[in-house]
Structure 1
Amino acid sequence: MMDVDVVVVGGGPAGLSCALNLVRARQRVLVLDGNRPRHAATLMSHGFLTRDGVPPLELRRLAREDVEAYENGTVAFAQVDSITPAGEGFVVKATGVRGAANHEVRARRVVLATGLTERLPQVQGLRAFYGTSVHSCFECDGFEKSDQPLLMLGETEDLVRRALHTSLWSNDVIALSNGSDRVPATAEAELAGAGIRLDRRPIAELVGDRTGLTGVRFADGEVLERSAGFVRPEWTVPDSFLADLGLERTVSAHVGPAADSVDPEVGALITVDAEGRTSVPGVYAVGDITPPGPQQLIVAAGAGARTAAAVLRDTLDTRIHAVDLASS
């Protein structure tokens, strides 16, 4: 069984930033990355200082190279199957991805940085335009859609707020609920003051051509011309491998299980303190899977560095405690 100081689960900006700071403190770190990033469809990332406009997958590649430039840092493509408390640490079992070896690792500490899984509204054609004409992150892609006729597609209670957010980049915004009964009855009046119309009709498909999105076809056949827009996915924490840890969760209106789920904590955010410590000593969580949920890449990376500092402080406290016991 391989022994390391820290296993980081997830190879996005939060996990790799945490790993980089840990390897620089001479910790033996293994990053296990399922290599299925939520932003895989996005062509360009924005708002990351010195990397504005770099493709997200390129940003991840560069970050992996940073970590592996240190002999005590390893990144492996693998899907984590379980994390089990064992003695003063944890046993992490993972299945290799794309031919990589399987792993059974003993780690003193574990950092969870998996990111979220997302479910888009079931609208035909949405996937074809997602990441090019239609996006989910305002900070990442809003500027590039400035002054265009935009849609804001969402089926959840926060559609009003998201439509208002969209209006920061264009005065021509139409909110679409796709027939969802979760959008409150007061939404039309709330949006009217901002000059935004809410259309509740079911959507048949998004339409377009080689240049991108051109419009929305409703179930009744009418086509609304739009050239770009935003969508509100529904997010959950990928948590099937966390069952043995019994982590405290934070149920959120923005991230969590479907409305009809029998267990309100399945898929819910992982509760952490200000530095990323979970309710289980030795386990930390960082990035999108912690409150408040989805974050800009640069925010997630910063949080990863902050949590690395907490891991190192806790490691030092453990060593000091051991010395005190030995000398008493």
Structure 2
Amino acid sequence: MTEQFDVVVIGAGPAGLSAALNLVRARRKVLVLDSNRPRNAATFASHGFVTRDGISPLELRRLGREELEAYEGATFAKAVVSAIEPGFVVTAGASYQASAVVIATGLTEKFPALPSLRTFYGTSIHSCVECDAYEYADAPIALIGETDDLAERALLISQWSRDLIVFTNAVGRITADEETRLAERGVSVDRRAVADVAGDRDGLSGIVLADGDVIPRSAAFVRPMYSTNLGYAASLGLATTAEGWLEIDDSGRTSVPGVYAAGDSTAPGPQQLIVAAGAGARVASAVNRDLLA
């Protein structure tokens, strides 16, 4: 028989765990399904989470799961969700039926194709400015990306260091007006193609350009291309934005009654763990109230 739950939460990052914790404290029977492949697994330390500044993201997940599983109504399963059928039958190896579903599966990152980028990702190359820029205050920093919002991100990084060079990899778009504004803050733009990044066991040392130049840098921020992980929910017909984000109201309700979303799959913004956790708590409140109705 299909096991019954009040709520199935898909994803055990800070959004999913926060939603699940608040729901089980509302005496809901909650199942959390997670593949255990977080995109911040390479990061040694996360920042900005009050009382947990500097903690490993994996340790934060472990603590969150430990707290959740202390409650009688909580169940956790390591599993990949393959489908959600109408009626909220969730398939993840086994089948589970729920009165409500919370989607908290986050995003997938696609980086510029630089062979050694992953070697330094999470140590001296990062994607979240708000999370990691403080550690590189006044250091020589690179911003590498291929999108049309590089100027905006560069202005943000310049709050921490103005020894900043933006590398567009001959793809990213920065207008003349944007370049002028960046120059006023001491930020320069290099539009040449990037071949790779260089460094050693101590960290990043430079950006290797296709023409052979190596520009010394001790840290870098990379601008990924983001995509959502929502193939398993295709049968639900959830409304999305033109960019692929889930459309939600202020409480995390999607276009399908009974389906909610929290975290990075709902909108671009600061990729901070504490932001996702707050969204999960907000969604839990909406789910509990809606189930009462």
TM-score tier, shorter chain, comes to over 0.9
How far does residue 217 in structure 1 lie from its aligned partner after superposition? 1.2
Which residue in 2 is equivalent to 1:249?
Answer: 240
Number of corresponding residues: 292
Alignment partner of 1:284 is 2:260: yes
1:32-69 per-residue CA deviation (whole Å, 9 max, x = no partner) reads 00111111111001000110010000000000111111
How far does residue 215 in structure 1 lie from its aligned partner after superposition? 0.5
2: CA distance between counterparts of 1:201 and 1:187?
Answer: 17
How far does residue 184 in structure 1 lie from its aligned partner after superposition? 4.1
Which residue in 1 is equivalent to 2:8?
Answer: 7
The letter for the 2-side match of 1:198 is V
1: CA distance between counterparts of 2:129 and 2:146?
Answer: 17
- Aligned equivalent of 1:225, options 190, 193, 216: 216
The letter for the 1-side match of 2:265 is I
Give unpaired runs (5+ residues) of structure 2.
Answer: none
Q: Which residues of 2 match residues 34-113 of structure 1 at below 5 A?
A: 34-86=35-87, 90-94=88-92, 102-113=93-104
How far does residue 153 in structure 1 lie from its aligned partner after superposition? 0.8
Using the TM superposition, name which of 214-223 and 176-185 deviates more. Answer: 176-185
Identity percentage over the alignment?
58
1: CA distance between counterparts of 2:108 and 2:175?
Answer: 25
Contact 1:287 1:293 (C-alpha < 8 Å) held by counterparts:
no
Which residue in 2 is equivalent to 1:160?
Answer: 151
Contact 1:270 1:290 (C-alpha < 8 Å) held by counterparts:
yes
Question: How large is the Cα RMSD of the aligned pairs?
Answer: 1.2
1: CA distance between counterparts of 2:50 and 2:234?
Answer: 37
How far does residue 91 in structure 1 lie from its aligned partner after superposition? 0.3
Which residue in 1 is equivalent to 2:164?
Answer: 173
Which residue in 2 is equivalent to 1:299?
Answer: 275
Which residue in 1 is equivalent to 2:203?
Answer: 212
Give unpaired runs (5+ residues) of structure 1.
Answer: 95-101, 253-267, 318-328
- Aligned equivalent of 1:188, options 156, 159, 179: 179
**TM-score, normalization by structure 1:** 0.87
Q: 1:165 to 1:58 in 2, by over 3 A?
A: same
Whichever of the two has the greater Rg, that structure is: 1
The letter for the 1-side match of 2:79 is A
The letter for the 1-side match of 2:287 is V
Using the TM superposition, name which of 74-83 and 182-191 deviates more. Answer: 182-191
The letter for the 2-side match of 1:270 is L
**TM-score, normalization by structure 2:** 0.97
Choose between structure 1 and 2 for higher RCO, CA contacts under 8 A separated by at least 6 residues.
Answer: 2
2: CA distance between counterparts of 1:193 and 1:121?
Answer: 27
